[in-house]
Structure 1
């Protein structure tokens, strides 16, 4: 087997990546982000990952590419644009509808990106290098223990901004990331340079103060974590800040000044928003049963949170809406089989209709068998 590789392979990889719909492609050596593992261990030690136990269980594999696959020599980092056409913050004052994070309004990005990563990998193995060059590769989106953002920075795609997400000079904060690990020795690109400067727009935009300091995120306070990853009742201190966000939060991304260079026309068409997910009615969401949930969110990344979490999130939005017309649908959930739904319905009703709440409490509180739901009945704020 020859010791070298085709001399123009790196440029050909980038050209093929662009052909497959990737807006950004760069290369890093497997050991190009040495501090990422140290920062990960510190973050986990501080408990800022909340309920995301899998991050702790596979921390050593996540800490570096070699920790996951010792044979890896190079990382091809890739980014696919999902820049929105409309302002993600435009629905902030429309309490009757729910706000879904831009990335989740279209097709499931895991499926789209993995399909194109595999296509790039097949091309690399069959056409780009040649059968006389023996090498291996693996493709990853974000379901594997891979530090995509530090690796993308090391590969020159951009830099990790103060909101901890990747920022690109050409795509702003709107990049889905993927990676190909390979045993090929590829020439690395120049790492990205932090261009946030003195800007703190993303820090000021966070409704729940999830950033204890620039470049540091406490997931336990993040609306994306709370509405997607957190399994139980959402802590009361965060409910008002969630507003009408029912899945994720775009605020820290949407205010990034670098977004002015991102063009929605360059976004992958697979991520075009589905009409029913752009501004779903809260009244419709709180009425969902399991079958209805699966039907509405088929093919969407939202499907993974399940009906109970979605209805919980929609109930918080209902409670924040100030719309008494929603109280009837909220009250109907006081007997829901899921304690997380019942408990959140108690809180929402207390904010929408004090008289109805008092009547329902008198009827239901004594027979409630879940400690958490009883706590909600007893502490509900009637003001």
Structure 2
């Protein structure tokens, strides 16, 4: 949702008028006061998002536009769009957003079997008949081929990203440190994401414990929502490791406080076991913050090529070694890495670049396009 919201102004700057349709009810708060037309086609039933008559509503809306972009799979909006657009001549495109990553197949085998029962008659057809299936990275494109043997798609890598940070950097940094004064003057290693087993925050805690004694000013800052109630267990682990005074839990941050956290930190850490793109990684790079990310974060190859951070295995040994490398790095090398981080963001992960790439793909399917609808 946030990606759609952020890319739309960049599309508008390229002359594209966008209507955003979602499965939310029409009066959903986030649909109000947006800088684009936002339509709620819900409410819908259950997590699958079924609603009777949805294909007809999508078809009527799509016929007012030149193309449709589907965001995500495994919910009814994708299959309903396939049903709606067959035979209409309106081309559609699909962003899978990492939902075909084989990590899910390995980690949740029972859910994968359930998806297999659904795949051949639904999402397989959605991808097969799309004008193009859009991937955010080359790594995501290659991994998508490994989940289901019945797979057919016109694959195109268009990139993804986020918008450049708004506001004044120093003011944001000062706001953050004023809100959390105990962190002023400390060396901050930042984790900012959901507190979820997939994100590897448990590995980061263990790795930090192994390195914390090297400098008493080191602080591991953990910011993000606790969606599964896992934080209590992690906090107990922090106590047992004897690093309670060196780990700060901030909960979810947003706006200038979030940007201030990026500005105040010296390293962003995300040892995820699976990450399609990692918008938070792009946000860190945009702030000139070097990153230490695990290999399954799909922009790892770009980070390595640009020398904008450290990439490691999603293991305790790999995470620990990355922290060791960072702490042993000289100041001049860190400054150069900060500069390369900003350059990587500008060249690859700024939404203005992603929007240009997307429009180039759409132009092949639409001789004279003027507006697009995203689901």
Indicate whether the TM-score tops 0.5. no
What TM-score, normalized to structure 2?
0.25
More strand by share: 2
Mark the structure with the bigger radius of gyration. 1
